[in-house]
A and B are shown apart, each in its own frame.
Chain A
């Protein structure tokens, strides 16, 4: 079976899992039913197909330079993927920037493969019911390569500490027609919106439980979603404009979450409602 063909097959398989669940009575809304589905999945997280797909993307020569991403430096040296995700976001001297996994991947695609960043930035996350994107697959695979390792984002460089502070300020930044900030929905324990539980992301326990489980396979969508997508979608609910993939705001917020969660073991890709 050729590479592209196998990619297509695994994508269809994971999309199928999603459809099976989506066809069931509107389970998305009901936490109880969701727990039953989760039990039904057991250890079989459909994200495993997407993880394999991510590795294939990593190895596949692409772009004008027809190279793979194998020399991409995610912070532990070119090509080192084991444990790299758990150490993000972090400062990268070659670009003088703090980056999350998505910003770094887009950078590597540009540098190594010669692909214009607009190509990825225009469609980083799949639409509901669509097939997953390359970013989603790569992030799923990279997170899996950090499974069991403690969350340890960089905090040595001054920029990394600045980004933590920026993230904290953003977390409490109230604006828009509903006056919402992240803290409106994620600043207290044992809260929920309708039936969806809201983790208290200002506490270590809440942030750890959340951060360690993303990227995650979302049963209601049949797709692997990344933490970058989560940030974008929560800002949508906050009535803010569109959040850019790999943007400073997304990196700063993920720095805030990762530092608050630090020490807990990564367990991604997780399984979400």
Chain B
């Protein structure tokens, strides 16, 4: 990983001379971006999963690679001690609503948000929800079986365990959210008192 970053930076300084124009992807990336605030050039590097999921639409991937990546994603999941999944739904609501975190315009000291409303419907009274993902309204009705809790935790930790090129971020695996924040989100999804699980007339 370190090596690849160094390579990219070297290309960047080459391209920066302005003598030539980029004719490869890494060269173009290296010469076109600059580190700013807390966001460095390492962000442009892809891990094997990101690289696999960067194919233009319609291009099929290697299926052996796909199952290897799925297994890896599954193996990355860290379950909370004692399978104690449920935190505080009110704090979970804040995490779901907060879209900030990890952009160069964001305060790196402030906690990251989950930005769930960008992609999901949750609380039926909240109208400003996106639809990149399925509606999660009334999620608690799916029950609180061990299977359901572990499935949902896995989705939040590393969604690629179930859908290799899912559009959803890897909130646990890439350290976007803390374990406590994930528990609070679990409560927001499952707690019968959570607004997600209230029906509106």
Binding site for B on A (CB under 8 A): 29-30, 96-98, 159, 162, 166, 168-181, 183-185, 187-188, 190-196, 198, 202, 235-237, 239-244, 247-250, 252
Contact = CB atoms under 8 A, between A and B. Distances in A.
Interface string B135-176: 000000000000000000000000000000001011000111
A243 B32 contact: yes
Nearest to A237: B103
17 contacts: A162-B23, A169-B25, A172-B55, A174-B54, A177-B43, A179-B170, A181-B54, A187-B57, A194-B117, A236-B104, A240-B39, A241-B40, A241-B44, A242-B35, A242-B104, A247-B32, A248-B22
Interface stretch (B84-92, B124-132, B192-200): B124-132
Given A194-B117, A240-B39, A178 B176 contact: yes
Residue in B21, B50, B53, B57 with the greatest tally of chain A CB atoms within 10 Å = B21
Contacts, number: 139
Interface of B: 15, 21-23, 25, 27-29, 31-36, 39-41, 43-46, 49-51, 53-57, 99, 102-105, 117-119, 127-132, 167, 169-170, 174-176
A130 B23 CA distance: 37
Contact of B31 (A171, A174, A179, A247): A247
A240 B28 CA distance: 14
B56 A184 contact: no
B34 A242 contact: yes
A170 B28 contact: yes
A173 B25 contact: yes
Contacts of A250: 32
B50 A244 contact: no
A172 B57 contact: yes
A239 B103 contact: yes
Contacts of A248: 15, 21-22, 27-28, 31-32
A240 B44 CA distance: 7
Contact of B169 (A175, A179, A183, A198): A179
Residue in B31, B33, B102 with the greatest tally of chain A CB atoms within 10 Å = B33
Given A175-B43, A195-B128, A236-B104, A202 B57 contact: yes
Contacts of B40: 241
A251 B75 CA distance: 40
A192 B119 CA distance: 8
Nearest to A96: B21
Contacts of B27: 248
Given A202-B57, A240-B44, 9 more contacts: A169-B25, A175-B43, A179-B170, A183-B57, A191-B132, A193-B118, A243-B32, A244-B32, A247-B32
